[in-house]
A = this chain, B = another copy of it.
């Protein structure tokens, strides 16, 4: 079974009242009305052996990542986090000291963005560590930015550098782009946005599907992370471009905006991290990679999906 197929099916059987739930499953956060305000909700889990290796990364880093993945989803909507709850399935025999490190990792990653942990659930079982964090958020003075607003002719941009996050350990240390997203949304008319968790090649497809458009990605413009090019990765990467396109866990922002706004943004570079234009939205719904020599090919199909 493919996860994305299952998620598509869930969406197909979900009927929500848009007056109550303006955004349901399929975006980075759901949006519901609460007391005359919009409330954003996102949930993400971290499983030992899948998203982390507890023995290698340590409990604090696992906790940190469990919170930060959710904060990255909040950033993807240009929202502010509000509070979080966490459920934790501890392996039997888990040391109290490690449980405390895990909690502190979750807590401190949230507090760095004003997002306290207000509740949770703790169980113990004979299986590996599983952590699920739910974050609530509110609009940050701007409309929540969805995946579905990209228009033909829009420029497609990303923050930061892509690829090699797992091997380079950046998947444990990334900064959720909450401040960057808010600044982007307050200064430029961002039509669609999401965070890069499954890799640019897969995630740009999700953004295009949601918007009913296609995209041309310029291979030469993809900001390949320096680790992939300078030989510091062990083993070295044979194909840095494919790694930058297909590796997951960058937790950078992927967004679409008009040519004019993109030109201003690229000239101003206001974020502290670089913004790169990597492509153009097309009316044609294909996802095309344009190589440096001008050859057009379908985007590599990878992306970070589990199959059973």
Contact = CB atoms under 8 A, between A and B. Distances in A.
Interface in A105-155: 107, 116-128, 130, 132, 134, 136, 138
Given A92-B308, A94-B308, A124-B307, 15 more contacts: A3-B122, A3-B124, A25-B117, A25-B118, A25-B120, A30-B85, A32-B83, A34-B39, A36-B37, A43-B85, A43-B87, A45-B89, A50-B123, A85-B134, A127-B127
Interface stretch (A9-17, A166-174, A233-241, A269-277): A9-17
A110 to B, nearest CB: 11
A51 interface: yes
A108 B229 CA distance: 51
A130 B99 contact: no
A31 to B, nearest CB: 8
A121 B132 contact: yes
Contacts of A91: 308
Given A118-B32, A124-B306, A134 B43 contact: yes
Contact of A6 (B30, B116, B122): B122
A41 to B, nearest CB: 5
A104 B12 CA distance: 12
Contact of A25 (B3, B35, B119, B308): B119
Interface size class of A (residues with CB under 8 A): 35 or more
A7 interface: yes
Contact of A21 (B14, B83, B121): B83
A24 interface: yes
Contacts of A82: 32, 34
Interface in A282-308: 306-308
Contacts of A159: none
Nearest to A46: B123
Interface in A241-283: none
Given A1-B94, A34-B82, A94-B1, A45 B136 contact: no
Contacts of A3: 122-124
A105 B65 CA distance: 29
Given A47-B125, A50-B125, A83-B32, A42 B119 contact: yes
Contacts of A103: 10, 13
Contacts of A306: 92, 123-125
A131 to B, nearest CB: 9
Nearest to A3: B122
A45 to B, nearest CB: 4
B41 A123 contact: no
Contact of A44 (B6, B29, B87): B87
Q: Which 4 A-B pairs have the closest CB atoms?
A: A35-B35, A35-B37, A30-B119, A132-B132
